Amino acid sequence: MLKDLFKTKPKYITVRPPQELGTRQEPAEKRDIPDGLWVKCDRCNQIVYHKELSKNLNVCPKCDYHFRIGAKERIDSLLDEGSFHEINSGLTSTNPLNFPEYESKTKKSQKATGLTEGVITGTGTIEGQPLVCAVIDFGFMGGSMGSVVGEKITRAIEYATEKGLPFVCISSGGGGARMHEGILSLMQMAKTCMALNRLAAAGGLYISVLTDPTMGGIYASFASQGDIILAEPGALIGFAGPRVIQQTIRQTLPPGFQTSEFVLEHGMIDQIVHRKNLRATLGFFLKFHAREDKGGQAIG
């Protein structure tokens, strides 16, 4: 058993610390959870057995560092088994600006994530409570928002409004609005926010969950607008990227700047929730706001 461990060369991944990310550009497009047997935690530098990490929802068992996870894994870990039903999966990007290298970038992201675009939207239940959800995948061009991401989130919000269902959005986007679609990406900020107004007017609940990283145009639109805003520990959250700020003010940024803990302290979010408690916490809030006329109805 012990011998077997040394037969193959251990494979490591490096996960960059959140401080380096979160500027407008999309960081390296690789999956943050490796296929190798072993994973080196970037925060505590300890070597963790991959299976153990998976079992622990991709949170380092040694130091609680929350690794980034993809949208599919997120849905699997949060929603009741078999309850998820995807909507609007057929939407894909064009290259409206004829922007250099855009098609090759989206293709690369599609290959890396197995997704058609940067967000998965659909319906399902959490602890029996029905909801409409949107989960952004950081692995798809840094979780940035172009026309498709904006449209799918808007449609999800409109669907929740129409059906009287709560809307839960799990955000992760270091890139904010996607520059490859220029002004059209910027306008997705307005589009999604306007849909939220209608959901609010209809008395619909919106829970926004911020995961590492949620920056720029994602944070400065729907992600910061939840009735309830939760964040995973240690996520990078903010408007301007740390590098941009550093270049502007020419000072070193204080430790812990723009983390979940920082935004909680400054009154921007309601709670920090450990990944292992996220499902139960969402279940609680959904149940607490359950509407008698809509609760438990079949969705499809």
Partner 1 sequence: MASPGYCLDFEKPLVELERQIEEIKKFAAEKNIDMSEEIRRLQEKADQIKQEIYSNLTTWQRIQIARHPKRPTLLDYVGMIFTDFTELHGDRLFRDDPAMVGGLAYLDGRPVTVIGQQKGRDTKENLQRNFGMPHPEGYRKALRLMEQAAKFGRPIISLVDVVGAYPGIEAEERGQGEAVARGIREMAALGTPIVVVITGEGGSGGALAIGVGDRILMLENAYYSVISPEGCASILWKDASRAPEAAEALRLTGKDLMEFGIVDEVIREPMGGAHKDPKAMAETLKEALIRNLLPLLDQDKEALLTARYDKFRKMGAFIEG
Q: Taking the CB of residue 173, how many other CB atoms lie within 10 A of it?
A: 31
159, amino acid identity: Y
In the region spanning residues 44 to 103, those forming contacts with partner 1, defined by CB under 8 A, are 90-94, 96-97, 99-101
Q: Between 187 and 290, whose beta carbon lies closer to partner 1?
A: 187
Pairing of strands 206-214, 167-173: parallel
| CA-based nearest residue to 232, from 69, 106, 25, 87 | 69
Q: Is 68 within 8 Å of 172 (Cβ atoms)?
A: yes
The answer to whether residue 244 forms part of the interface with partner 1 (CB under 8 A) is yes
Tokens linked to 215 = 């920056």
Q: Is 235 within 8 Å of 66 (Cβ atoms)?
A: yes
Q: Is 68 within 8 Å of 211 (Cβ atoms)?
A: yes
Q: Between 48 and 223, whose beta carbon lies closer to partner 1?
A: 223
The answer to whether residue 22 forms part of the interface with partner 1 (CB under 8 A) is no
DSSP 9: P
| CA-based nearest residue to 145, from 100, 180, 115, 111 | 180
The answer to whether residue 189 forms part of the interface with partner 1 (CB under 8 A) is yes
The answer to whether residue 182 forms part of the interface with partner 1 (CB under 8 A) is yes
Tokens linked to 238 = 């903010």
CB of 130 to partner 1, least distance (A): 25
Quick one: which segment of 76-84, 120-128, 162-170, 240-248 binds partner 1 (CB under 8 A)? 240-248
In the region spanning residues 114 to 173, those forming contacts with partner 1, defined by CB under 8 A, are 147-148, 150-151, 154
CB of 7 to partner 1, least distance (A): 41
CB of 129 to partner 1, least distance (A): 26
The site for partner 1 (CB under 8 A) is made up of 24-25, 90-94, 96-97, 99-101, 147-148, 150-151, 154, 177-179, 181-191, 193-198, 216-217, 219-225, 238-241, 244-245, 248-249, 251, 253-254, 257-258, 266-268
